[in-house]
Structure 1
Amino acid sequence: MTATAAPPDAGTGPDAARVAVAASVGAALAVVVLVLTFWLPHLLSIETYSRTRYPGEDAVPPLRGYLEVKAVGFRTVRVVLVGVLAWLFLPRISATARWPVLLVTSYAVGLVWLLGLAYVDGSEGLSRVEDMPGEYLNTARAITDVPAMLDGFVGGITYGQPDSWTTHVAGHPPGALLFVVLLVRLGIDTSFGVGLAMTLVGAAAVPGVLVALRALGAEPTARRVLPFLVLTPAAVLMAVSADAVFLTVSAWGLAFLALAATAASRRSMVAWSLVAGLVLGLSVFMSYGLLLMGLVALAVLASARSWRPLPWAIGGALVVVAIFGGFGFWWWESYAAVHDRYFAGLGGKRPQSYWVWGNVGALLVSAGPVLATALACCVPGVRATVRGAVGERRTTVLLALSAAAAVLAADLSGMSKSEVERIWLPWIPWLLVSTALLPERWRRPALAVQVTSAILLQQLVFTQW
């Protein structure tokens, strides 16, 4: 019999029957949302503007890409074997391994899963993204003067001008471009090399989430969610995506904040808080949407019932603001320009009436359909849980629901229409923390659903990421 960590606060949370009912409702809602988001655009001839390329191919809104049924060969069999072995053994390892071994295992297995899925398309699975004209690499190769680039960055955001930045460079603060510039300066200047580097960094996100959970006194929760964090279908989008880098940076920023909130001494608290502020501040200068990660940061502090790190962390973040400002780049000026560019381009054409719920379907593909089931398990007794004493269930619910609130805010803003299977990657691990609350008899089948969903996504859809 496979060993498992105990459910969070077993015996003190809502009764098992209520949680099982909530899980069933969540599963049903996931099916309904997925069917509607994929089917209605074709049934009602809704122009979603989910893609700009691949004319003549079968679009698959709400995803950015098209239908491409790949032949089953050795590479597919290999990733199926990896998925089956991880499904069989990872839950037991996560329940019994010593903590340092667990962190290394989560990174190693996660990296194998990422690379295995990407290599269904061969080496092109790691190189094709950065070969695309709208990505970072070509621009990074041309940057010879970083201070001048920062000083003139906002001027290059305007849509449709001859000297405008490419799509992804213009759509993000310069921290994203600077990461690729750093790789180029280190000699990693091929599309394959950059894709591999992004994948290596992206795999480090799961250990960051685990460190945060353990610091908050929720090590059993960390052990229960590890297989779901590693074997998420989001791995298909994480390999080679810059958003996986943003995920890792923000995840470790939150881990440092959790260490600050639970530090035994004031000196340690201040040190960890400043580091957390610097890292989280840097993440906001890599992706505008990561400002909403502040909701999860507040949930971390609420879980620890300690607000002492907040002013120090804000101070650390302001240091990042000051450094970029010293070179002439101010975040709020850039965001205003990006807002205008977004609505001047495809963002202004994409119908919010579809994408406000189409985005949810894309998220359920990326995070896996089990996400709706797991989040539903947070609902029974949620008020008593949030108001209750410090405990693992409270930590799980606060983290998962704060991430859900951040995603909802992004969805309703109208600035996230399409492509969210990639854009919302930084929130997926915190959403999937809710899998700790799944009923015990659901866990093995739920993990199998996640593994199967990832393989099917890779095998049936050509994703641009």
Structure 2
Amino acid sequence: MRPAARLSPDRWAAIAAFVLVGVAVLVGAAFGWAGHPVHAPAAPLFGHFLPHVGPGTPFALAVAVAVIHWGPVLADRMPWRRLLLAGWVASVAWTFALALVDGWQRGVAGRLTTPFEYLTEVPGVTDVHAMLRGFTGHILLFSPDNWTTHVSGHPPGVLLVFVGLDRLGLHGGGWAAVLCVLVGCVATVAVAVTLRALGDEAAGRAALPFLVLFPGAVWVGVSADGLFMGVAATALALLAVGLTRPSWWCAGLGGAGLAACAYLSYGLILLALPAAAVTVAAWQRQRLPATPAPQRLTPTPAAPGPSSEPAPPQPASATADPMRPGPAATATANPARPATATTGTAPPATATTGPTPPQPATNPAQPAPATTTLDPVRPRRASGTTDAARARRLPRATSPAAGTTTVRQLSRLACAVVGAALVVALMTGLGFDWLEGYRLVKVRYYQGLASARPYTYWVWGNLAALAVSAGPAAAVILRRAVVQLRTARTPPVLLCLGAVAAVVAADLSGLSKAEVERIWLPFAIWLPAAAALLPARDRRTWLYWQAATALVVNHLVLTSW
């Protein structure tokens, strides 16, 4: 009798996530039956159990099948810029398809026009400066002309966004919804750009299909938190680019973007933790010595000569991949070794085994035949080796002296701090006191449903809602990130754990009870960023589970956003 096969740790992690969600559903229902409701009808999600289909159903299924079937292959082979554009388009299509399951009015145009939302207050803003000066005076529930629920619970930045949209002539919930989706889906591109800037393009390519089929897209379409997700991810991407390239402007814009996020949502002050992860990863990339990538041997034809012995195989160029920027194809992986590609007549091949003689100088007037380059069209390689080879690639350029690196890093970080300080100074000068607003919003939070929502349930029920929003693959990715942290602090690991640290801080604060499936979108999007940690042979299976999670939730629960 054959022994039963053991479940892998990855499967145990996914099972734990499913069990957590199931227990949260049962306990939430039990609280309600016992007369102590948790004030979320579809706990741990905020919505109503209502099985339904809609016009977006066939489109959502089509997008899911297309991304699962072709996404991983295209992510590996497409040129980088085209891949980013395709990823953003696919993400927009996926998000709109899910939103249209509820119909255009109920699922898109009407989401931001309810009495609790931002657009209700837009017509009353006739003087922006006066609104900012008096904003904190209308936060508390019983203050004169108090703001609606969502406006009072956030800084004025998001209201300014919708006021600006209205002043441009784009009135109503339809345009506001389109803005939230288009900006929110930029996070798909921004996460991939961040990984590439930190030296791990392979991880960015592996993550893109998971970012497209992100189950949190159910709440990106449509909520203002989807817009926050796109802005936050873009700010972190700019910070990563600014810290890893000689770009003080990008560093400054990244800092300014992160500060602007704090004026969109008070909770986004916790982006300091993912930003710290970006800083550490950028620091590692600049200080670690370049590590040659594993090379595929390509036979080089022997030059004409008296010897009939074939030339030994030569390693392929370290930057011969046409999808990646780098030096010319004739560069060798070892900078100390002379290049093998020359122009003119090659010297006769000999059978000697001594040191390689110096090669004749290259004639700049003639293009050099690349004797060790790969084909212009990338050959299809085994998926198990492609990602492993790419994930270990670091910049080929020799790292500068440690002192110079430290000074440059600190100067770019200072630019980010200056950019953030300028935003804070601008908003403070216009009349809004962030600290006073935060103090008042904590009072306002417990004047509403939060006072009746039991902390003992939501402190772990929130994690069940996050498991739904991030998808079952996120549990596996998180397990692998924790394990790998002991041996290799790679950019995907650091970014994933930085976002998780922010989630834990928000959860323990007691200021996030329910509705975190949308509130934590700016952090949840960074869990699929570490999809490269998944075995390549299993990624398509996890994509199925990610898409299935979004489709099941969207068709069984009528979400409020």
Question: 1:30·1:373 contact (CA, 8 Å) conserved in 2?
Answer: no
Q: 2:129 aligns with which of 144, 147, 153?
A: 147
**Whole-Å Cα distance in 2 between the matches of residues 401 and 412 of structure 1?**
16
**Whole-Å Cα distance in 2 between the matches of residues 110 and 210 of structure 1?**
13
Measured after TM superposition, the shift of residue 195 of structure 1 is 0.9
Aligned to 2:159: 177
Aligned to 2:303: none
Q: 1:414 aligns with which of 510, 515, 518?
A: 510
Question: 1:143·1:149 contact (CA, 8 Å) conserved in 2?
Answer: yes
**Whole-Å Cα distance in 1 between the matches of residues 24 and 424 of structure 2?**
39
Measured after TM superposition, the shift of residue 272 of structure 1 is 1.7
- The residue identity in structure 1 corresponding to 2:530 is S
The equivalences for 1:127-206 within 5 A come to: 127-206=109-188
Aligned to 2:13: 26
**Whole-Å Cα distance in 1 between the matches of residues 130 and 37 of structure 2?**
38
Q: 2:423 aligns with which of 288, 305, 320?
A: 320
Gaps of 5+ in 2: 1-6, 287-408
Question: 2:252·2:419 contact (CA, 8 Å) conserved in 1?
Answer: yes
Residue 461 (structure 1) aligned with residue 557 (structure 2) = yes
**Whole-Å Cα distance in 2 between the matches of residues 384 and 66 of structure 1?**
44
Residue 68 (structure 1) aligned with residue 171 (structure 2) = no
Measured after TM superposition, the shift of residue 24 of structure 1 is 2.5
Question: 2:141·2:444 contact (CA, 8 Å) conserved in 1?
Answer: yes
Residue 226 (structure 1) aligned with residue 215 (structure 2) = no
Question: 1:321·1:330 contact (CA, 8 Å) conserved in 2?
Answer: no
Say which SS state the counterpart of residue 512 (structure 2) adopts. Answer: coil
Say which SS state the counterpart of residue 462 (structure 1) adopts. Answer: strand
Aligned to 2:277: 299
- The residue identity in structure 2 corresponding to 1:181 is V
Say which SS state the counterpart of residue 66 (structure 1) adopts. Answer: strand
Residue 42 (structure 1) aligned with residue 29 (structure 2) = yes
The CA RMSD measured in Å over matched residues stands at 1.5
Q: TM-score, normalised by structure 2?
A: 0.74
Gaps of 5+ in 1: 1-19, 52-58, 387-393
- The residue identity in structure 2 corresponding to 1:384 is T
- The residue identity in structure 2 corresponding to 1:130 is L
Residue 95 (structure 1) aligned with residue 82 (structure 2) = no
Say which SS state the counterpart of residue 69 (structure 1) adopts. Answer: coil
Say which SS state the counterpart of residue 48 (structure 2) adopts. Answer: strand
Q: Which moved more, 1:323-332 or 1:305-314?
A: 305-314
* 1:369-402 per-position Cα deviation (integer Å, ceiling 9, x unaligned): 221111111122422223xxxxxxx111110001
**Whole-Å Cα distance in 1 between the matches of residues 519 and 264 of structure 2?**
12
Aligned to 1:349: 452
The equivalences for 1:75-94 within 5 A come to: 75-94=56-75
Q: TM-score, normalised by structure 1?
A: 0.89
Distance change >3 Å, CA 82–CA 261, structure 1 → 2:
same
Measured after TM superposition, the shift of residue 21 of structure 1 is 4.0
Q: 1:113 aligns with which of 79, 86, 94?
A: 94
* 1:282-318 per-position Cα deviation (integer Å, ceiling 9, x unaligned): 1111011111111111101100116423222121111
Measured after TM superposition, the shift of residue 91 of structure 1 is 1.2
* 1:306-344 per-position Cα deviation (integer Å, ceiling 9, x unaligned): 642322212111111111111111111100000011112
Say which SS state the counterpart of residue 488 (structure 2) adopts. Answer: helix
Q: 2:548 aligns with which of 452, 457, 460?
A: 452
Question: 1:293·1:406 contact (CA, 8 Å) conserved in 2?
Answer: yes
Say which SS state the counterpart of residue 446 (structure 2) adopts. Answer: helix
| Greater relative CO (CA pairs within 8 A, separation 6+) | 1
Measured after TM superposition, the shift of residue 162 of structure 1 is 4.5
Aligned to 2:249: 271
* 1:167-214 per-position Cα deviation (integer Å, ceiling 9, x unaligned): 000111100111101110111111112111211111111111111111
Measured after TM superposition, the shift of residue 48 of structure 1 is 4.5
Q: Percent identity?
A: 42
More helix by share: 1
**Whole-Å Cα distance in 1 between the matches of residues 181 and 448 of structure 2?**
29
Which of these two proteins has the greater Rg computed from alpha carbons?
Answer: 2
Q: 1:331 aligns with which of 427, 434, 441?
A: 434
Say which SS state the counterpart of residue 214 (structure 2) adopts. Answer: coil
Measured after TM superposition, the shift of residue 74 of structure 1 is 5.2
Q: 2:223 aligns with which of 235, 241, 259?
A: 241
Aligned to 2:301: none
**Whole-Å Cα distance in 1 between the matches of residues 39 and 167 of structure 2?**
34
**Whole-Å Cα distance in 1 between the matches of residues 37 and 227 of structure 2?**
28
Question: 2:195·2:203 contact (CA, 8 Å) conserved in 1?
Answer: yes
Say which SS state the counterpart of residue 187 (structure 1) adopts. Answer: coil
Say which SS state the counterpart of residue 417 (structure 1) adopts. Answer: coil
Say which SS state the counterpart of residue 511 (structure 2) adopts. Answer: coil
The alignment of Structure 1 onto Structure 2 pairs a total of residues equal to 427
Say which SS state the counterpart of residue 481 (structure 2) adopts. Answer: coil
Measured after TM superposition, the shift of residue 165 of structure 1 is 0.4
